[in-house]
Chains A and B, each alone.
Chain A
Amino acid sequence: MTEPVKDRIRADVAVIGSGPGGSVTATLCAEAGYSTLLIEEGPDLPLDAMAHFSGEEILHKYRNAGVTMAFGHPSVTYVEGRCVGGGSEVNRGLYHRTPPHVLEQWVASHRVDALTPDELAPHFEACEATARIAAFPGTPPPLSQRLGDGAVRLGWDAVAAHRLYDYEAGRKQSMSATFVPRFRRAGGRLIADMRAQRIRRINGRWEVAVLHRSGPMVTIVADTLFVACGAVQTPALLRRSGFRHNIGNSLRFHPMLKAVALFDAPVNRPGDPDPVHQIKMFEPRFGIGCSISSPAMLALALAANPAMRARIGADADRMGLYYVQNGTGHGRVRALPGSRDPLVSVRHHDIELDQLYDGLKHLVRALFAAGAQAVQPCLPGFGLLYSAAELASLPARLSRKAAMLTSVHVFASCPMGEDRRLGATDSWGRIHDAHGLRIADASLMCGPTIANPQGSVMAIAHRNALHAIERRFA
């Protein structure tokens, strides 16, 4: 039943956005005894309300029904969750701790205090316990195993990634299934369907003008405010509210190129667990992994490749969808006057696109080593390949016109750090010169992780929330 919403709500702590960063932050604040309000723009739907990766889920749980784009040459199509639990509800829940070399780089480039692997380890452990991070028990499904086998035959290392997953119950995990219930048990209040319009500071408190889906404007008044709307909406809200210093200038992605392999035997049976193998030894130049390979996802990836797409009906069980990703793309987020949706632009360096294309060729090699009979790079104008030797026939460089980049990770739009020339916040997520206004989401990251960033987002939110609570939000 929908809770009636008053036109003015008072809380000690307000958190805008219920994704991994917001949920972790709100939970710790509520457990510390503060009256905590967590608001979410999207609906409050159970994790299993609809089939994962279905059209229905796209319409109900994705921002803009999945039609979101960073404009550039090439553009990057990206997706974000927009529901209670945010991106954790719609992703596969693949999990990695932030690689130590990435943390070292952030500390060096942005002068972030107390961000060594040892200092972050307890925060990872705390989040992993609640979020139910688990390794795949037994042998991963064949679609996944094939990538691992191909890597081994080439002398490469492959890993089976952990996931937010309850393998005993056979159920994916997410914020709505883990941290949000813990938040509610601690007395926290969550209101969905509330879109934050603007933030302002009045009489020593934060006021958030919020539009409820049912129509009325609501004012939230809080002593402490965390913004955790995600790496695109957080800078958009902050810029609308007049905060601009290094806000929205450094958005990053993990753009992907994809390829579909056709194997000699079934690898992709309905009901198989999601694949988990990844090849990480080439990071940060690029990383390789497996994608959801339902007929719909295969068809979408092959939208520009009709010959391979025509085989889905008969051969979907022998087909697997794989990706290569890296950190190409430097984006900007700008609020547009009169529009609820921000404009996102992106530019690419040639060297990063070259590395991504090189990664695609590595992926194709791994798939042939794994026994693929044919591999289709998911790019317009690219034909079906029947052997690794045919890689020599591909263009030497990826044309920017042909590059169809997609990303499921966005971050780093408001980076943290003591270097004010680069950082939007200090090392603990406090926006510079903004009376303790805090950010608690992927915006804080200082650059790409290449690894799945959800673990980093949760651990950094955990670290920053505890730091704030210990100092009573000073």
Chain B
Amino acid sequence: MLPDFAATVGALAATVAERERCATGSVQGARDFVLASFAAMPVYLRPPLRAATLFFDLWAVPRRGRLFHRLPPRQRRAQMEAWETGPARMLIRFYVSLVLVSLWHD
């Protein structure tokens, strides 16, 4: 049971998309946009962001017995929204912002 960066990004995109019901963009498009943005961001930001994302994926294991990206949608949303208001809110805000841009652009 290893955390998976791309799968976590995809799961976050799907969770945001589920909340933004009126947006017409695709989850796959949002995932690809976030991963492309990640690949282009400053070099020194990538390792800490990747580590924080993997930690976010692992966070669910002791609580739910599964990685975040393998949780059912309702539990994924609960974890994401808990983090949105917690100490690591900047991490989730970063992902939510990028996903919103993609979902609404399409």
**Which residues on the A side are within 8 Å of B45 (C-beta)?**
67, 69
A68 touches B20 (CB 8 A): no
Report if A59-B33 is in contact (Cβ < 8 Å); known contacts: A64-B40, A303-B97: yes
CB distance from B85 to the nearest CB of A (A): 9
* Residue A170 interfacial (CB < 8 Å): no
CB distance from A317 to the nearest CB of B (A): 13
B36 touches A312 (CB 8 A): no
* Residue B42 interfacial (CB < 8 Å): yes
CB distance from B30 to the nearest CB of A (A): 9
**Which residues on the A side are within 8 Å of B33 (C-beta)?**
55, 59
Which of B5-13, B58-66, B69-77, B98-106 forms part of the interface with chain A? B98-106
B40 touches A312 (CB 8 A): no
Contact residues, B76-106 vs A (CB, 8 A): 89, 93, 96-97, 100-106
Which of A84-92, A173-181, A337-345, A348-356 forms part of the interface with chain B? A337-345
Chain B 38-53 per-residue mask, 1 if CB under 8 angstroms from chain A, else 0: 0111111100000000
A65 touches B41 (CB 8 A): yes
* Residue B2 interfacial (CB < 8 Å): no
The list of the 3 closest CB pairs from A to B, nearest first, reads A313-B22, A341-B42, A65-B40
User: Which B residues contact A (CB, under 8 angstroms)?
Assistant: 19-23, 33, 36-37, 39-45, 89, 93, 96-97, 100-106
User: Which A residues contact B (CB, under 8 angstroms)?
Assistant: 54-55, 58-59, 64-69, 294-296, 298-300, 303-304, 306, 309, 312-314, 336, 339-341, 343, 380
Could you list some 24 contacts between A and B, CB below 8 A? A54-B105, A55-B102, A55-B105, A58-B37, A58-B101, A59-B37, A64-B40, A65-B37, A65-B41, A66-B37, A67-B42, A68-B42, A294-B104, A294-B105, A296-B105, A298-B104, A299-B20, A300-B97, A300-B101, A303-B93, A313-B21, A336-B44, A339-B42, A339-B44
- Not counting A55-B102, A68-B42, a sample of 13 additional A-B residue pairs whose C-beta atoms are within 8 angstroms of each other reads A55-B105, A58-B37, A59-B33, A59-B40, A64-B40, A295-B104, A296-B101, A299-B20, A299-B100, A304-B93, A309-B20, A313-B23, A339-B43
